[in-house]
Structure 1
């Protein structure tokens, strides 16, 4: 809202283009005046009069209208939930450590390699691939192709739909990848014995976490 005793075209032009008025100064032809926006009824000082008020629009996009719903604050709504979940997970892990024995193995002997020597279960699929393919293929090309394919999938499948029935390519690709990876993990973890030979887990167990 601009207060001046003379009608100034520059003032009205700047006023009509203004989006945020508080603390903004514009130069009139005679003096410097302060541009202010207020929802309440403004007080007109002395012999000056209100030239006009034009609601501006943002330079980009539409004017944001506050939602009728109450906003959800990060504190306490989000952080309290995160804290409760973190404490629950900590209690669960402590309970597992107290009631289930998970001892460390004996110190490694550099002159003796266990047979079979298995990777942790989450790498069992890669170890199964190493058994079937050349190390360059199983250790570099296949994992690299998987990572690049998953990164490129959103650019290949540009379907904007969010329903699963409308995203058949993405769902089918991810499902095939997960099924193959789980099968390789189970085989490498539970069905491989000495010299990476096939064993039945109910006859002799060689799985290691």
Structure 2
């Protein structure tokens, strides 16, 4: 923030937010061209592979939207922290307060339009949450999300309903939709650089950890602890209500409202941190010291500069390739002549990424092969290949407990023969070998 204040000393967080909103708006219009509402996930995965310009605009749309949300909240708090009376008509201030919720909804509907595993889970959560509201839940759910699996209504809300509402409240608040030129140039340069360097997240539909966007993860953590999910809606409405009532009442009431907002914000930031960095598959708790922590708590914002050099033959192969798990996979473009060890494991059926890992959303050999598993199926890391969500998740959990892995039968019988156990049916594992006659006998036979 201090850096921005140095280069833009006479600017405000409101002007910066406005510049970000205009960038988001323009990049969204451009992004609508390659996006296919009838096959959203496939269309996104395809232009991520073959259209670097679309990738750049997608990244700009994502980053400008996220910074717009952050700077809008900072702009509101900046006004509150000055301890000055907010001289705005109640009706306009009500719409501005409601605008905070609308900004969240605009971003959330944009997240849903990816139609990947993260988005589909977020849609199910929203549906169950809204549908459970007494009397009007079903109506609200259909009005916001639609009655079918189609994303058409969500798309309309994203590009029209919520966007138009935001434009209206901006015009009411600032009397102009256009930001100052200096802010626009500098913010555009920063967003373009960030968008060139950092890729927008897209779930591969195989990775076992599924989470919403960062501003939704806190709500997921709240829902994890609530027995009545609809209480979370009351918390959201309480947040909006507190924003609305800040300008009204005496100084004591204003102080209480501001402190309540600050406390709620800090709690939500804490819950977001917990949900983002300490929750793994199926929202299970994971510690930073756990062996698979770096795998389960990964950074979705890949540092991979947009490559504007494309090969025409590779592009044609990518366009004509068969979708795998609902998406196009860059691996198949190069390895189109590879055959699996069975029909069900043919790359044309499940791709290369599901077993070997790496990055399926690139045609760059270096990027695609980064962190890949050369020999998938080893028990040490089978959960990252054979045991992924779309393949054999239950088998890999079970196989390490089987007789072939634990050698329980062999060890128990050997201990029984050496009169160290009363029965040959004890349950044990190879990790429990001790320094006894029976166990040393097994060690001499290379059991370890």
- TM-score normalised by the shorter chain: which range applies? 0.3 to 0.5
Larger radius of gyration: 1
TM-score between the two structures when normalised by the length of structure 1: 0.47
TM-score between the two structures when normalised by the length of structure 2: 0.24
Which structure carries more strand by proportion? 1
Which structure carries more helix by proportion? 2
